Amino acid sequence: MKAMVCEAFGGPEVLALRDVPDPPPPGPGEITVRIRARGVQYVDVLMLAGKYQFRPEPPFIPGGEAAGEVAAVGPQVTGIAVGDRVMSRHTLGACAELGNAKAELCDKVPDGMSLESAGVFRGAYSTAYHALLQRGRMQAGEWVLVHGAAGGIGIAAIQVAKLFGARVIATASTDEKRAACVEEGADHAIGYTGGFLDQVKDLTGGHGVDIVYDPIGGKVTDESLRALAWCGRLLILGFLGGGPTNIRSNYLLIKGIDAVGVRIGGLNEANPALAIANMRELTRLAGEGKLRPRISHRLPLEKAQEAMQAVIDRKVIGKAVLIS
């Protein structure tokens, strides 16, 4: 089969299209997926650079989320048959034509949902759902400030927050990205230039926001603490803005703020039953047309370098997908 192989640690240039052996027959509880679409995530970029918590040694085939048709079913698998369309989760290996996955971590693609959408759905929407509803305890009517809102987990957060009745302020760096956030349901979309605190205060009538969804870090986190209302929740999802910050504990004390870490990989490891249940619910909502991934970049598998670079350059609005 064809696969994109990471041959050394580095940037997207370390990826090469290679002929590699097909995966072995699926073992107990496993299926083999003929992969048609793969989501490109910032996690993949970090893995190529050897900077992620999970650090496979080259050569390896990157990619953690995908969608395709079931090509083979291993022993002890029920409810999934050859030919079914599934979205699958992989530790590695999604950037190939075939991949094995645990059947319990695969969900049937709802009718009316394309394999492209299914291939980029799992990571972003499971993150947004777990962050807002479980870690953030979001309630209908609350104000949610979504940073990096035009990215994959940002668009997902806008949709999830609006679906469950919140009011959303999105931050994004360009007019094009802010327009996309409004198209996806954000009540307001603002920029970072010159700070966002005063705009947030004006939009909320001086109340501030109840939840900040923050994959950016750095100075954005510092300003976000000032934008939170009494008993607000700061959801820390990552550090795309240059790294973590030293959170000032006096803000947490004075405003009764919760600073909450959110790592979907941690949920998958610590509470797999909850992670599986979340995906079942998200798949149901997607099947009802209530959640819809936004895809700005569609590229063939062999152009994985280009897709990864687009993620690095922040040109992607929503998600990028590799198809075959």
What is the Cα–Cα distance from 43 to 51, expressed in whole angstroms? 9
What is the Cα–Cα distance from 157 to 293, expressed in whole angstroms? 11
Listed by start position, the domains of the chain span 2-120+293-323, 124-265
Looking at domain 124-265, its CATH architecture is: 3-Layer(aba) Sandwich (3.40)
For domain 2-120+293-323, which CATH number applies: 3.30.470.30, 3.90.180.10, 3.30.70.20, 3.30.70.1400?
3.90.180.10
The pLDDT score that the predictor gives to residue 240 is: 86
The pLDDT score that the predictor gives to residue 138 is: 98
Residue 75 clears pLDDT 80, i.e. is over it: yes
The pLDDT score that the predictor gives to residue 255 is: 94
The pLDDT score that the predictor gives to residue 52 is: 87
Residue 33 clears pLDDT 80, i.e. is over it: yes
Residues 190-202 pLDDT 10s:
998 889 999 999 9
User: What average pLDDT score do residues 159-183 get?
Assistant: 98
Phi-psi region of 3 (alpha: psi -120 to 50; beta: other; left: phi over 0): beta
The pLDDT score that the predictor gives to residue 241 is: 79
The pLDDT score that the predictor gives to residue 193 is: 80
Cβ–Cβ contacts within 10 Å for residue 152, how many?
Answer: 30
Q: Which residue has the tokens 């941690």?
A: 266
**pLDDT confidence bin for 248, thresholds 50/70/90:** confident
Q: From 40, 96, 25, select the one nearest 297 (Cα to Cα).
A: 40
